[in-house]
Amino acid sequence: MAKAIPRIGSRRNGRIGSRKSARRIPKGVIHVQASFNNTIVTVTDVRGRVVSWSSVGTCGFKGTRRGTPFAAQTAAANAIRTVVDQGMQRVEVMIKSLGLGRDAALRAIHEVVYY
């Protein structure tokens, strides 16, 4: 019979738990794509690797309420809270499209980062 191949991430190897909290990211880029129907907020590091993301649909908004500024504000706050806890201090913001959530997402980013 063949010998069993040990899995790298198994509990028997002693590596238990998540490595996400161990990463320290001092500087990042926040991408906001605000269309008329949805707003997607993605937080990446400087090299472009995604650290956290959120959209209005994942925050629980359905239908026409997904295009509102309040929904965009909620999505931006959800995406940023996790990376602020990881130690992100400097941020660049890239805004794309012409949706209603552009300004609200920018205000939410400013509010969470500075307060």
26-84 pLDDT, tens digit each: 899 999 999 999 999 999 999 999 999 999 999 999 998 998 999 999 999 999 988 88
* Cα-trace Rg, the chain: 18
CB 75 within 8 A of CB 62: no
Structural domains in the chain, CATH included, are 27-114 (3.30.420.80)
CB 34 within 8 A of CB 96: yes
The predicted model scores a pTM of 0.76
Q: What is the mean pLDDT of residues 77-94?
A: 89
Assign residue 38 a region: left if phi > 0, alpha if psi is -120 to 50, beta otherwise?
Answer: beta
Of all residues in the chain, what percent are helix, strand and coil, respectively (each to 5)? Answer: 35, 25, 40
